[in-house]
Amino acid sequence: MTFFYYLAAFLLIRRLIKRLKYSILYPKWRSLLTTSNWVIIVLYFAVAFTVDDGVNELIASAILLTLLLYVDKEPDFKSQKAYVQANFPLVGVGFLNGLAILFASKFYDKYDTYFNLVTVAAFVWIFGKWATSNKQEEELRIVAERKAELEALVNERTAELVKQKENLQEIVEELKATQDQLIQSEKMASLGELTAGIAHEIQNPLNFVNNFSEVSMELIEEMTEELEKGDKDEAIAIAADIKQNLEKIRHHGQRADGIVKGMLQHSRASSTTKEPTDINKLADEYLRLSYHGLRAKDKSFNANLATHFGENLPMVNMVPQDVGRVLLNLFNNAFYAVQQKQKTAGPDFKPTVEVNTTTKGKNLEIKVKDNGTGIPDEIKEKIMQPFFTTKPTGEGTGLGLSLSYDIIVKGHQGKIDIATKEGEYTEFTISLPL
Amino acid sequence: MKILVVDDEADVQPLFLQRFRKEIKNNEIEFSFALSGEDALHVLHNAHSEIVLILSDINMPGMSGLELLTHIREDFNAPPPPVVMMITAYGDEENHRQAMEKGANDFLTKPLDFILLKEKLKTFSE
């Protein structure tokens, strides 16, 4: 019966060889395992047919036990542990057989069929284990493969996502840069619209400067003449006129100066410094610029400018060029609306743009009203959206109101309200906290 | 000779008064002023027969100089019709053309050349 022990040992080693074949451990163990296989075969023939049955069983069991203990201890064969351990019952049975043969041969002889049966059973047990561990191994292998596949997939997806995230970040950066550029070009576009208005606004004070200085030169000549004639009173009267003229020259010089400064402020990249500002002055300045800007493009256009500036309004903290831009935008829109209406309305239509400044509660209110085309209900919600415009392509950027909204609501914690009736009027109300 | 000057810039008034200092002193010319087209119509309504010459800016808020011209030719044109001179901005061809159509007698461009204006006044008063 010793054949089974050697066979078990032989098969164990074969299994180890087979399992290691595709692992990096194979070169380390190959020769040792192959040699031991041959050794087992040689041992079988050397021992099985030369010694007595009892000793034979003991030797075979000892050989198998040695192999098992060695393999069991070796970490490289850890995965085969279950299979290795399935061999131990056979070893036990072998020792029992050997001892029984040696020390209770009569008992053994009487029940040798049972002894053999137990041996075969222990051997079969190994194969039962072998089959199940094979199955488990296969399952483990499949699970490991799936895991590897999934991991690869996860890595791939992660890489994709990281790449997408980077792309999106780049796009966001680009969009921010584009937005800044758009804001700047909107400023420049509105400055372009202003040019004609500014030219007109500067031309007027300059004309006065020239005219008053010319007339003053004449007056000085006259004064000299009067003094020569001895008419002192007349000379003094002329001197008073000259003084008045010089004041006028100064006044108009400052007026031109203010316009140039306002223009520079308007074109400058946003500053966020708030300063106490006279809203009436600001509104008046931009109303005139806007009006003359439009008239420069359409010489036949004319409108009533009705200004109702509240008296004794407090100075309000604001970024003047930003709020100026909002006002300019509202005025431009108002003039555009009345101009459009004039194209279809009868000769009785009087285009009117109205500005109102008051304090209401803890707010400063600026109303810009026109009796133009009004805003249809269906687009009322959209007019504050960036890039929304009703003007023909190339005439409006669609950024004016959206920037105005940002300036008033985000920059000044204020509000913009709209009241409008299609075909009749539009009224924008800006509220700024005092 | 009574002249009505229509301009929305108030400082035009001392300028005219000083430029025509001698003429005013010698009672050759008398000036009235209006700050808007509406204002001018009001002045004409009260004293149109006395005013022989009207000098008007075109570019004014409210009633423009061209509208004023139309009103003058419609309502205050009783013979002898007043002479109307329009003041236009430099290079403003469109307004020039429209003013001609509406019956303006002459044009002046800004900035006003008072020497030229005086010469023109002489020809009209002769």
Residue A190 lies in a domain: no
Nearest residue of B to residue A244 by CA position?
B14
User: d(Cα B113, Cα B116) in Å, to the nearest integer?
Assistant: 5
Q: Rank A22-26, A149-153, A267-271, A328-332 by mean pLDDT and report only the highest.
A: A149-153
- pLDDT tens track for B66-90: 889 999 998 888 778 889 999 877 6
Residue window 245-304, chain A: list those with CB within 8 Å of chain B.
Answer: 245, 248, 252, 291-292, 295, 299-300, 302-304
Provide, as residue numbers in chain A, all residues whose Cβ is less than 8 Å from the Cβ of B98.
300
Boundary of a domain, candidates A155, A189, A220? A155
Residue B80 lies in a domain: yes
Q: Out of B19, B64, B114, name the one closest to residue A302 (CB).
A: B64
Q: Inform me whether the C-beta atom of residue B92 falls under 8 Å from chain A C-beta atoms.
A: yes
Residue B121 lies in a domain: no
Provide, as residue numbers in chain B, all residues whose Cβ is less than 8 Å from the Cβ of A245.
14, 18
In chain B, the number of structural domains is 1
Q: Out of B14, B19, B92, name the one closest to residue A299 (CB).
A: B92
Q: Inform me whether the C-beta atom of residue A335 falls under 8 Å from chain B C-beta atoms.
A: no
A339: CATH? 3.30.565.10
Q: Out of B11, B61, B98, name the one closest to residue A208 (CB).
A: B11
Residue B118 lies in a domain: no
pLDDT at A17: 86
Q: Is the pLDDT of residue B123 over 80?
A: yes
Residue A406 lies in a domain: yes
Q: Out of A210, A244, A302, name the one closest to residue B14 (CB).
A: A244
Residue B123 lies in a domain: no
Provide, as residue numbers in chain B, all residues whose Cβ is less than 8 Å from the Cβ of A208.
9, 11, 15
Suggest the residue from A198, A200, A204, A218 to mutate for an interface test with chain B (most B CBs closer than 10 A).
A204
Q: Is the pLDDT of residue A191 over 70?
A: no
Boundary of a domain, candidates A136, A155, A174? A155
**CB–CB of A215 and B19 under 8 A?**
yes
A194 pLDDT tier (thresholds 50, 70, 90) = low
User: Chain B closest CA to A242's CA: distance in Å?
Assistant: 10
Residue B103 lies in a domain: no
Q: Inform me whether the C-beta atom of residue B67 falls under 8 Å from chain A C-beta atoms.
A: yes
Q: Inform me whether the C-beta atom of residue B14 falls under 8 Å from chain A C-beta atoms.
A: yes
Residue B81 lies in a domain: yes
**CB–CB of A211 and B59 under 8 A?**
no
What count of CB pairs under 8 Å joins A to B?
59
In chain A, the number of structural domains is 2
Residue A305 lies in a domain: yes
Residue B73 lies in a domain: yes
Q: Inform me whether the C-beta atom of residue A185 falls under 8 Å from chain B C-beta atoms.
A: no
pLDDT at A367: 95
Provide, as residue numbers in chain A, all residues whose Cβ is less than 8 Å from the Cβ of B66.
300
Provide, as residue numbers in chain B, all residues whose Cβ is less than 8 Å from the Cβ of A214.
114
B74: CATH? 3.40.50.2300
Residue A265 lies in a domain: no
Nearest residue of A to residue B62 by CA position?
A304
- pLDDT tens track for B11-68: 899 999 988 988 898 999 999 999 999 999 999 888 767 888 999 998 787 788 888 9
A271 pLDDT tier (thresholds 50, 70, 90) = low
| Residue B12, domain extent | 1-27+34-90
Q: Is the pLDDT of residue B126 over 80?
A: no
Residue A119 lies in a domain: yes
Least confident of A197-211, A242-256, A258-272: A258-272
Q: Is the pLDDT of residue A269 over 60?
A: no
User: Chain B closest CA to A284's CA: distance in Å?
Assistant: 13
Nearest residue of A to residue B25 by CA position?
A234
Boundary of a domain, candidates A118, A140, A155? A155
User: Same domain for A150 and A285?
Assistant: no
Q: Is the pLDDT of residue A132 over 70?
A: yes
A247 pLDDT tier (thresholds 50, 70, 90) = very high
Nearest residue of B to residue A196 by CA position?
B89
Residue A22 lies in a domain: yes
Average pLDDT value for chain A:
85
| Residue A353, domain extent | 273-434
- pLDDT tens track for A340-396: 898 888 778 889 999 999 998 889 999 999 999 998 888 888 887 776 777 766 666
